[in-house]
Amino acid sequence: MTSAQTSHPPAGAGRESGPGPDPEELQRSQENAVMQMLDVPAVADELAARFAARGHRIYLVGGSVRDALLRGTGASDRDSGDLDFTTDARPEQILEAVRGWADAVWDTGIAFGTVGLRRRDQVIEVTTFRADTYDGRSRNPEVRFGDDIEGDLIRRDFTVNAMAVELGERRFVDPHGGFAALAQGLLDTPDLPERSFADDPLRMLRAARFVSQLGFTPADRVIAAMTGMAGELSRITAERVQAEFSKLILGAHPRRGIELLCDTGLAQHVVPEVPAMQLETDEHMQHKDVYTHSLVVMEQAIERETDGPDLTLRLAALLHDIGKPATRRKEPDGRVSFHHHEVVGAKMTRKRLRALKYPKVLIDDVSQLVYLHLRFHGYGKGEWSDSAVRRYVTDAGPLLERLHRLVRSDCTTRNRRRASALQRNYDGLEDRISELRKQEELDAIRPDLDGNQIMELLGIPPGRAVGRAYQHLLALRMEQGPLSPEQAEAALRAWAAGNL
């Protein structure tokens, strides 16, 4: 296979029965066609000129090339943003080449051959050809620099990321058929997948991420290797797993990525609570299992996003029912119940997201959404009191809009009349919330007297008694709505008479 293969020759090429196109000419025409799709930024040419002047070759490589080709074919408007280059220059030679040209340089990755830099508004990474070996027990490689682009590309994770453009000669380098794979939407590895995944097991999770982000289909041998090597993911730190999982969840097709994780067994090492839902039957008896229902809820939540992908909402939608397996009960009438699964699920969600090292704010928000997602079903036909509506809003706090989207998405019944009734009921709840907001600024409910006023009226110093009085007045506000100053003072004195 040549170092510039872009696609397979046409059927019949090379047969003895008749003259065919010259292979080298065909290859050049394919390269030219590919190069026309690539919009190489001016900053890349500037960098190439500096390396060429010092006798070095430099290539645009990896996701930069992949995404440029996707844009060129109209398959995606995805832009990877940063530019990645690889070169035969050693790290110290890279530093010399960019000195005086780069606006900023950082060498935190120089031990691995990588120099980062910024030129105007463009962030760039330049890495020396690599030919690492791994010990098979950790992610730490024995760093060895390579001498040619072909040896570097075979180390890449997938063929669609193993394409390069030699900038000096404008030569397209594709020794592993990455362009053909890109056209087919096929995800395969340049080397044997078992060898590639043994080098870095995170690549298996990255495969699911690319399925989600780009809609690719993994090759059969990739799926087989992922299934057989799923346990190797335990070698990877939680932080790196979390980063890939978040990108998967935020992709255009997260359901496909989650299904691949579950089908291959990788989910057992990332979010084992998700495949565990495959064993359960939803209480509405309208879905194959809770797992399928949860994936549908996630898809419906995505449809309700208004400001781009929302990691908090998507995680809450995926995990909202993970408490069902632990709470499953068969009732005397034969129906299946999952009482308090939202309480159990919120605790499980918190534990899983902590294990994945998510930030505390995100953990709190997702867990609270899981905890609150079922509360609306007590609303019935609108019989909630104003105080119940206030509590719903207060408990949701800044998550209220997300809670609206999650609750509406949780309606997946195929019974159109029931689905319409549920949506109408929620319409009614939102209308009541809107009216109460107009009346009393519901988003910032506070007692009618603050702490200083409580201490002044009761003649008491700061302490627990002030907090108890404050909570009493807050409960009154929730139950009765705003009180006049006279009513609030009378209520405070009445409480104090029996509690101080």
Token pair belonging to 318: 């995926």
Query: What is the model's pLDDT at position 253?
Result: 97
The whole-number average pLDDT for the span 271-291 is 73
Q: Say what percent of the chain tops pLDDT 70.
A: 85
Q: Say if residue 316 is in the same domain as residue 433.
A: yes
User: Quick one: which of 45, 202, 187 has its CA closest to 138?
Assistant: 202
Range of the domain at 100: 23-184
The CATH code of the domain that includes 143 is: 3.30.460.10
Instruction: Enumerate the H helices of 159-250 as residue ranges.
Output: 178-184, 193-199, 202-214, 220-228, 238-249
| Cβ–Cβ < 8 Å for 185, 256 | no
DSSP 264: H
In a domain, 207, yes or no: no
Under the banding of pLDDT at 50, 70 and 90, the label for residue 131 is confident
Q: What is the pLDDT of residue 210?
A: 96
pLDDT for position 1: 39
Q: Alpha-carbon dihedral of residues 138, 143, 146, 150, nearest 10 degrees?
A: 20
Quick check: is 223 in a domain?
Answer: no
Q: Tokens 């690549």 — which residue?
A: 203
Spatial distance between the Cα atoms of 328 and 218, rounded to a whole number of angstroms:
35
SS3 59: strand
Examine residue 82 and state whether it is found in any structural domain, yes or no.
yes
d(CA 234, CA 201): 8
Token output for 291 = 């797992």
pLDDT at 276 over 90: yes
At 356, which amino acid appears?
Answer: L
Looking only at the bridges linking them, the beta strands covering 83-87 and 122-128 are parallel
* Residue at which a domain ends, from 184, 200, 230: 184
Does a structural domain hold residue 311? yes
Residues 438 and 482 in one domain: no
| Structure tokens, 417 | 């009349």
Do the beta carbons of residue 56 and residue 92 sit within 8 Å? no
Q: How does pLDDT run across 161-174, given as a tens digit for each residue? A: 999 999 888 889 99
How many angstroms separate the Cα of 5 from the Cα of each of 12, 161, 181, 184, 354? 17, 14, 12, 15, 46
Both tokens assigned to 394: 């207060």
Instruction: Evaluate whether residue 192 is within a structural domain.
Output: no
pLDDT of the residue at 132? 62
Residue 102 domain-assigned (yes or no): yes
| pLDDT tens-digit readout, 328-363 | 888 888 787 888 999 999 999 999 999 999 999 999
Query: Using 50, 70 and 90 to split pLDDT, how confident is the model at 289?
Result: confident
pLDDT surpasses 90 at 16: no
> E strand or H helix at 106, and its extent?
strand 104-106
Residue 59 has pLDDT above 80, yes or no: yes
Q: What is the reported pLDDT for 143?
A: 73
Q: How confident is the model at residue 266 (pLDDT cuts 50, 70, 90)?
A: very high
pLDDT on residue 9: 36
> pLDDT confidence of 291, banded at 50, 70, 90?
very high
* Three-state secondary-structure class, residue 373: coil
The CA-based diameter of the chain, rounded to the nearest angstrom, is 108
Give how many domains the chain has, as a whole number. Answer: 3
Rounded distance between C-alpha atoms, residue 139 and residue 353, angstroms: 23
Confidence grade of residue 18 (pLDDT, cut at 50, 70, 90): very low
- Please say which residue of 151, 184, 217 terminates a domain: 184
Q: What integer best gives the mean pLDDT of the chain?
A: 87
Domain-embedded: residue 248: no
Sheet strands (E) in 151-191:
164-166, 171-173, 186-187
State which H helix or E strand residue 383 sits in. none
How much is the pLDDT for 30?
62
How far apart (Å, rounded) are the C-alpha atoms in residues 170 and 404?
A: 53
Percent of the chain topping pLDDT 90: 61
**At which of 184, 202, 221 does a domain end?**
184
User: Span 185-190, mean pLDDT?
Assistant: 96
Closest CA to 326 of 309, 312, 339: 339
What is d(CA 313, CA 401) in angstroms, rounded to the nearest whole number?
A: 10
Q: What is the pLDDT of residues 364-375, one digit of tens each?
A: 999 999 999 999
Q: Residue 88 in contact with residue 128, Cβ under 8 Å?
A: yes
Same domain, residue pair 403 and 488: no
DSSP state of 338: -
Q: Where does the pLDDT of residue 2 fall: very low under 50, low under 70, confident under 90, or very high at 90 and above? A: very low
Check which CATH number belongs to the domain holding 289 and give it. Answer: 1.10.3210
Same domain, 429 and 470: no
Confidence of residue 286 (pLDDT cuts 50, 70, 90): very low
203 burial via Cβ count (<10 Å: 0-12, 13-18, 19+): buried
Q: 214 and 76 in contact (C-beta within 8 Å)?
A: yes
Confidence grade of residue 413 (pLDDT, cut at 50, 70, 90): confident
Do residues 482 and 410 both lie within one domain? Answer: no
- Judge if 316 and 459 occupy the same domain: no
Contact 90, 128 (CB under 8 A): yes
Mean pLDDT of 19-37: 63
Tokens encoding 385: 């009191």
Res 136 pLDDT > 70: no
Q: Decide if 81 is inside a domain.
A: yes
- Name the residue with tokens 């809609």: 215
Q: pLDDT for 432-471, tens place per residue?
A: 888 888 776 665 678 889 999 999 999 999 999 999 999 8
pLDDT at 17 > cutoff 80: no
Banded pLDDT at 281 (limits 50, 70, 90): low
Strand partners, 114: 127
In this structure, the answer to whether residues 303 and 436 fall within a common structural domain is: yes
pLDDT at residue 295 above 90? yes
Same domain, 435 and 494: no
Q: For 8-27, what is the mean pLDDT?
A: 49
pLDDT value at 138 more than 70: no
Question: How do residues 75-130 score in pLDDT, each as one tens digit?
Answer: 666 666 689 999 999 999 999 999 999 999 999 889 889 999 999 989 999 999 98
Assess whether 151 and 71 both reside in one domain: yes
Three-state DSSP state, 329: strand
Which pLDDT score, from 0 to 100, does residue 133 have? 61
Judge if 458 and 370 occupy the same domain. no
Contacts (Cβ under 8 Å, ≥6 apart) of 404: 426, 430
| CB proximity list for 50: less than 8 A, separation 6 or greater | 97, 98, 101
Q: For the segment 200-217, what is each residue's pLDDT rounded down to a tens digit?
A: 999 999 999 999 999 999
Q: What is the mean pLDDT of residues 15-43?
A: 64
Cα–Cα distances (Å) from 172 to 25, 166, 168, 178, 432, in that order, read 14, 6, 11, 11, 62
Indicate the pLDDT class of residue 481, thresholds 50, 70 and 90: confident
pLDDT at 241 over 70: yes
Taken in order 262, 263, 266, 268, the sign of the CA dihedral is positive
445 strand-pairing partners: none
Write the secondary structure of 414-467 as one string of H (helix), E (strand) and C (coil).
CCHHHHHHHHHHHHHHHHHHHHHHHHHCHHHCCCCCCHHHHHHHHCCCCCHHHH
User: Quick one: 397 exposed, middle or buried, by C-beta within 10 A (0-12, 13-18, 19+)?
Assistant: exposed
Same domain, 180 and 54: yes
76 exposure class (CB count in 10 Å sphere: 0-12, 13-18, 19+): middle
438/473 same-domain check: no
SS3 295: helix
